[in-house]
Amino acid sequence: GGGGGGSGSGGPSKALQRMARAKEKANMERATKPFRTAATKGGALPMGFGAANGAADAAVAASPLPTPGLRRQRRGVAFLKTYKTGSTTVAMYMSACAYQLRLRALHPLDKGWFAPRELEARAKAFGSSAGSSATGASSGLFDVSFRHLTPHADYASLGRLLGGPAAPPLFVSILREPVSRFVSLFNFVGTIRVKYRSAEAFVAAVKGRDPALTLGDANSFCNNMAWVVSGRPLEQSYAWVDLEQGGQEAASKEAKELIQTLEGRGVVMLMSHRMSESLVLLSNLAGWDLGALQFRDMTERVQASKKYKCEKGETACAQAIKSCNGVDTALYEHYLGRFNQIIRQIPDLDRQLNAFNKKWSSRAGGAWTKKYPVNCRKKIQSPATRQFDEVHAC
């Protein structure tokens, strides 16, 4: 998404901003009214909701890094999608597993994205009806989340919606080597590619604060993975960290602080170029039985041709890309090493990988291959789609 400007920079006037905020609030009140009413009156929650919880922010932050093979029980999984990293492949895999395991998936209420503060409003709406299982452990309203988190990741609300103090969710994301991610996005966003034609020209525009270049565009190409997983608002983007005086030192400092925060939250990073290992790792951490599940590669939006190319290494384009992706580079290198450590802890990894790859390359089909909906299901559409609608219910 693009960044907004104030009235002095071609953006909306203060009056229009107030109107937009009022409309946003009204829409959120209307969308959550039936859920808030049920929680307040102690009645039954709408279809798709279990017992709510009021997980404290501190409990979310204190979630320990899970260890494969030692945590076999099911747990909520919050996948933080990053851009042009293979995250849609992960989302489709999670959707297929959710359908078969009857796991409740978190989707936007309206349109195809979460409205500003929607997750917070939905978490608060059910906080007053916190419940517990027979064992006394709080459970979340949902079991999995795999949509892009707009306008930014809200760890606290996700912690409430997918877990609780006794069973915080597993936070997962995925990273890609920054140069290849930049090039893939550069080819995907045709308007940027046509206008700037090269990575060097684009990065020069970012560095020069080209007024025609929005904050959203700069954020999309420079340190975007770090920004997504940080949970920071767009105004606190890392886009210009590397390009100021002393940028390399600043980027290293920001990366170190971010990694410390992510480690505290127990975030596990998958690797785009090692998808099979990543999905086996995810399944082991989530407690999903790979042997009992059906799945296949349902990768989407593969680019037919490479319109712009940039060789890795010491090439001018690669150096330009790295010069505005210092935080992403440090993040990627740290978590690649972390990934190598964690993946070795999976029991009988070779056997699991061989079995996974046979299914992954198959042409298996079934109801589980259906693409997840744009937004959540507010009712059962028909008896034939009951299972799908319940998995993707509001």
CB 327 within 8 A of CB 241: yes
- What pLDDT score was predicted for residue 57? 33
Which residue, 255, 261, 284, 293, is CA-closest to 342? Answer: 284
Pairing of strands 77-80, 170-175: parallel
CB 282 within 8 A of CB 352: no
Radius of gyration of the chain, Cα coordinates, nearest whole angstrom: 21
> What is the DSSP secondary-structure string of 258-272?
HHHHHHHHT-EEEEG
The tens digit of pLDDT for each residue in 313-323 reads 778 999 999 99
- What pLDDT score was predicted for residue 348? 92
**pLDDT confidence band for 248 (50 / 70 / 90):** confident
Which residue, 169, 74, 83, 75, is CA-closest to 119? Answer: 169
Q: Which has more pLDDT, 311 or 351?
A: 351
The tens digit of pLDDT for each residue in 54-106 reads 332 333 333 333 443 334 456 799 999 999 999 999 999 999 999 999 999 99
**pLDDT confidence band for 185 (50 / 70 / 90):** very high
The tens digit of pLDDT for each residue in 210-226 reads 998 999 999 999 999 99
CB 277 within 8 A of CB 347: no
**pLDDT confidence band for 183 (50 / 70 / 90):** very high
What number is the average pLDDT over the span 282-301?
A: 90
- What pLDDT score was predicted for residue 138? 31
The tens digit of pLDDT for each residue in 30-67 reads 444 433 343 333 333 232 222 222 332 333 333 333 44
CA distance 117 to 156: 12
Q: What is the residue-averaged pLDDT of the chain? A: 80
Q: Which range, of 4-18, 104-118, 174-188, 264-278, averages the lowest pLDDT?
A: 4-18
Write the CB contacts of 11 (distance below 8 Å, at least 6 apart in sequence). Answer: 4, 5
CB 76 within 8 A of CB 169: yes
**pLDDT confidence band for 305 (50 / 70 / 90):** low
- What pLDDT score was predicted for residue 21? 52
Q: Is the pLDDT of residue 340 over 90?
A: yes
3-state SS, residue 74: coil
pTM of the model: 0.80
- What pLDDT score was predicted for residue 302? 56
- What pLDDT score was predicted for residue 246? 72
**Residue in the structure block whose two tokens are 């959710």:** 98
Angle 160-88-309 (CA atoms, 0-180°, nearest 5)? 135
Q: Which has more pLDDT, 133 or 216?
A: 216
